[in-house]
Every structure is written in structure tokens, then in C-alpha cells.
Amino acid sequence: MVNRVDTSIELCGVKLDNPVIPASGTFGFGREFAEFYDLDILGAISIKGTTREARFGNPTPRIAECTSGVINSVGLQNPGIDAVISHELPALREIFHKPIIANISGFSIEEYAECCAKIDKERQVEIIEVNVSCPNVHNGGMSFGTSPESAAAVTRAVKRVTTKPVFIKLSPNVTDIVSIARSCEDAGADGICLINTLLGMRIDTMRRRPVIANKMGGFSGDAIFPVAVRMVYQVASACGIPVMGCGGVASASDVIEMMMAGATAVQVGAANLRNPYACKEIIEALPEEMARLGIERLSEITGVVK
């Protein structure tokens, strides 16, 4: 039975052999992980978050370990949209032949629109993921994702200049995730990605100061999985567009649980930082887990929990 299961899914017309996608910011531009295994085993790749200008990111230290998770405050370090288009995308396409998801961040609606218009013209990119939820950059994307009105404004601006499916990546650091997701849907979003990291902090008690130079950062890892499942369930139940689930996914069982909550595809984030083989191991374990649960087609379990 294991050999007969179907792990394929479809995301806004884009076919994936399986629903497992390395999350943006945890997989670089893919080439780093190609040293460990054949990337073509993946369903897709969401590349590192990209802004208009090159960014060095936040001061170090940027990482703090936590029980069942990690806090990071990298600050969108990236070479800028033009370098991603001229170098990173062609280099990735040489070693990866599955769908590529471009992750775009910005500090103004104009910057979001400009970057999305540029990336939309690149044939290597199948889906655009718009990050309105990064908590690591002062006066950055997070402000756009914390109200329905501002999230909708970014969505409308991006949709006006793009032809490819646009997924809006939302922050969990809000009181009403459903109202924000609905506003994005009403503004034309093709899908929703959630959740991004929770806002966290650690203190070095010996030094009496925050562990991270930026004081606070994004908390991710196993500990946030129940929050992610809850938000995926809420948004998938309230909206008519597909959801990419993300947050604490670390096993094939987690993928199936996230899909049952309503996700069409599932991103794996912090697990890649702990184990570079995480996505490969999850994908390889999926058929056996499906067989154990009596699932023949993975696409049929999305949103089965009502």
C-alpha cells in the first residue's frame, strides 16, 4: 500500500509532487542544502526573503536557543531584488527543477509593488509569497500585517502588478487573524501563508541583558506548532483560498495534521536549522505515515477536520 499512495497536491494551479516546502529564511537560496541531498525531492522551495535594496541585517548575536524552539533576529539579510534575479534564481534553477516561491518583503507599499512586479517577470518563479509579518525589522513588514486595512492595501498594490499566484504571509502576533486573512482575500490574494514567527525574548541572567542584540526576535520551532494548527484551521475555515501552513512542523505526522486543519501545502522552517535533512526525512516518511492512517491521496485530507 505504501507504494500506491499519492503525495501530490496542487497550489493555485501549480502542481507539486508533495506538499513539503522549506520555509523562507531557513533554507537560504537552496544551494547550501544541495550539498546534503538532491533538492528535487522537495515539493517546492520558498527562497530567502528579498527586499529592494541589499540588507546586511540586524546586529549580532541574532540567535537564542529556547526550550523546543529558537529565537532569531536576522533582519532580512539578503542581496537585494536585482541580485536575486540576476544570480540567485538562475543558480538555483541549475540544481532545482521544481516550483520556486519568491518571498518578498518591503518597507513601503511602493517597495512591495516594485519588487513583486520585477519578480513576476521571472519565469523561474511560479508563486509569489508576500511577507507582511516579519517581526525583526523596525518599521518594516510587521506594521503592514497587523491590521486588515494595511494588509489589504499591500495585497491590492501587489495584485495590480502581478500575474502569478500571490500568497500573503501573515503574522500570528495579532488578536484576530481571521479578519486580516479575509481582508487579504477580499483584496485579491490567491492564498494565505501562516504562521510566521511569534515575538519572543530571552535574557542572559549572568550579564543582565537580552541574549539577542535586537532584544526581541521571532520565536519558532516545535513549541509554536499548536498555535499554527489553530490559526490554519481558523483561516482555512473562514476563507475560500488555499492556505500554506507553517510553524513548528518537524515530522510527516505534523504535515498531515496541518493539512487536516486546512492547509493545502506545508512549509518546514526551524527544523531545517536543527537538521539539514529535515525536509528529506519528512518527505520519505510521508508514504508510510499515509499508509498507517489509511490515506491514499494526500490532497483529499485538506480541511477534513470541521
pLDDT over 60 (residue 100)? yes
Domain boundaries defined on the chain: 2-301
Enumerate the active-site residues.
134
Give the pLDDT mean for 130-158.
78
What are the grid coordinates assigned to 23, written together?
A: 520555509
pLDDT-derived band of residue 2, with 50, 70 and 90 as boundaries?
low
What are the grid coordinates assigned to 149, written together?
A: 486595512
Kind plus residue range of the DSSP H or E element containing 244:
strand 243-246
Give the pLDDT mean for 181-200.
97
> What class does CATH assign to 2-301?
alpha beta
**CA–CA distance, 35 with 58 (Å, rounded to integer):** 27
**CA–CA distance, 25 with 270 (Å, rounded to integer):** 9
pTM to 2 decimals?
0.95
Res 140: pLDDT = 46
